[in-house]
Amino acid sequence: MFPLQRGRRLRVNESIRSLVRETTLSPSDFMFPMFIAEGENYKVEISSMPGIYRRSIDLTVEEIKELFALGIRAVNIYVKVDESLKDNMGKEAWNADGLMQKAIKSIKAACPEMIVMPDVALDPYSIYGHDGIIENGDVANDITNEALVKMAVSHAQAGADFVAPSDMMDGRVLRLREGLDAAGFHNVGIMSYSAKYASAFYGPFRDALDSAPREADVVVPKDKKTYQMDYANRIEAIKEALSDVEEGADMVMVKPGIAYLDIVREVKNAVNVPVTVFHVSGEYAMIKAAAERGWLDHDKIMMEQLMCIKRAGASLISTYFAKEAAILLHNNK
């Protein structure tokens, strides 16, 4: 009670503020999403994501070594699949000699302690750009799950530490856990995209992989709203996260990040596993664009958003800012 209690006493200077700070960030809080392409010595910047590149495997491995040296301990990897390899079934997704499988092997050979979490969804492999197999004008849930199991097992065989299903099919976590266990991969974890919303914030990501839904010669859903969540819903996110934990998820994810911090806290309060938050491509691109125009201070906004995500309950933040933030944290020691 004022004047006995004065909150400003704990804000007098940075030393005091640091003593009582409730939330802190370190490079080990970050996971870096990476885009991998065919070829050698190949590196192309994604126009809508300044500073983020598609890299060939050899250059990806070099970047992985730099990330590990900075204290980043996890990467979430995606592949840019050649159009000639795409079909409705996504069969290239479980090709033992496919780009994803070769990338996992190369990363683990070069940096065994880096935790590799490959994306599990069919959209990079689908001729229609959807996360599953099209049947009768919609994404068929159960047959898609069968394909996802093949995909996840192939990732485990290549050396993945976790698989990261982002497809939002019903029951896929249970099917993945059963499939991995049956193949002898009891220690390969599942980081489930449990509360993945049908968000407009994903636009730059789809540029990176050319994975947006597209026109087709058959009837297909025009968007992903029949499987990704309605952004008006809150209770549904809790239900999905709890369901995934019951089915065997070792971690759950909320995606996107900043616009969904209320969901992050709700999920954190409801589950007893680590919560990952994906600070997505659109959120990244907005900061980059505003900073380029001088409207915002890039580093201050970057660190504030990451801190807010951590404060909301994130155990791990998948963010395109991971490397920049880790460098800044090192420089400010």
Q: Is 300 a catalytic residue?
A: no
Picking from 252, 247, 264, the residue whose alpha carbon sits closest to that of residue 305 is 264
Which amino acid, one-letter code, is at 312? A
- 105 burial level (CB within 10 Å; 0-12, 13-18, 19+): middle
Which one is catalytic: 196, 268, 288, 323? 196
Residue 274 to residue 267: CA distance in whole angstroms: 10
Name the token pair of 5.
């209690």
Distance of CA 238 to the CA centre of its chain: 19
240 is in an annotated binding site: yes
Looking at the chain, which runs of residues are DSSP E strands?
Answer: 30-36, 43-45, 53-55, 74-79, 115-120, 133-135, 138-140, 162-165, 189-196, 251-255, 275-279, 316-319
H helix and E strand count, the chain:
11, 12
Residue 44 to residue 18: CA distance in whole angstroms: 40
DSSP string, 114-132: SEEEEEE-SGGGBTT--SS
Which one is catalytic: 86, 108, 224, 255? 255
Picking from 310, 201, 200, 315, the residue whose alpha carbon sits closest to that of residue 253 is 315
- Site of tokens 């409705």: 88
Name the token pair of 97.
């000699």
Residue 173 to residue 251: CA distance in whole angstroms: 11
Radius of gyration (C-alpha) of the chain in whole angstroms: 20
Helix, strand, coil share (%) of the chain residues, nearest 5: 45, 20, 35
Q: Is 225 a catalytic residue?
A: no
Report the catalytic residues: 196, 255
Binding-site sequence positions for Mg(2+): 240
Binding-site sequence positions: 240
